Amino acid sequence: MVCGYPWSGKDPLALGGVSLALLLAFLLREASARNPLVPLRIFRSRNVASANLIQVLSVAGMFGVFFLGALYLRRVLGYDALGIGLAFLPVTLAMGTLSIRYSERLVTRFGARRLLVPGLALIMLALVLLAQAPVHGSYLAHVLPSMLLLGIGAGVCFPALMNVAMSGASPQDAGLASGLVNTTAQVGGALGLAVLATLSTTRSSHLLAQGHSSAAALTGGYHLAFWIAAALTAIAIAIVPAVRGDAQRAGV
């Protein structure tokens, strides 16, 4: 198994229902509170709403892949803990290099909105490549290209996404907009990991029941998760046209 319970189990459905109920209760409370923690008026800005939705979808795919990708390296390819850490190092190096040295220059030259599609497209391509990694795959051929594409795509996309969110916030809501983007990243990561891991587990269970080997069943489950993560990123790309130009401000 990957982890947790299969999708058909009662626990995931019950916890999902409770989570949705709590979210609805939070929104109702914020709509009626005199001094809300998150004033819902901020979502009237198209850029703020779009940026946070893109953030949720893209991070949901990426965070789940980091977890399931590590499991693929460990349980299918046989990597140890150090090997897994080194395998993911290109993601950090590429993302960090772009964020520190080049992201600001790219945003200044091309505008934040124009960087979203290329960055998200690279992330989606990385996920599609991972979805085709075989049982007896090699790091150089089947993992490293995805790691580099993930790092480059995230290094291009996420700083631009923060810029888009901030461009859509009024001066008094600037701090709220910044904190909201970081919060939706955490929420997206948690939801993505829960959903992708659960679906991966269900798929692996079905493959095992059909007589597939453990390695093949696990790989099949991971492939499903990677394809779903790629689909989430594709939906995020489809939302980009809703983002207005960088010069637009909140409420415009």
* 174-226 pLDDT tens trace: 888 888 888 899 888 888 888 899 899 999 999 999 999 999 999 999 999 99
CA 108 and chain centroid, separation: 25
CA-to-CA distance for 62 and 126, rounded, in angstroms?
A: 10
- pLDDT (tens digit, 9 = 90+) per residue, 6-34? 555 566 667 767 877 887 887 888 788 88
CA-to-CA distance for 36 and 190, rounded, in angstroms?
A: 24
CA 6 and chain centroid, separation: 22
CA-to-CA distance for 212 and 205, rounded, in angstroms?
A: 10
CA-to-CA distance for 228 and 86, rounded, in angstroms?
A: 26
Q: Is 250 helix (H, G, I), strand (E, B) or coil?
A: coil
pTM of the model: 0.87
- 215's tokens: 């390695």
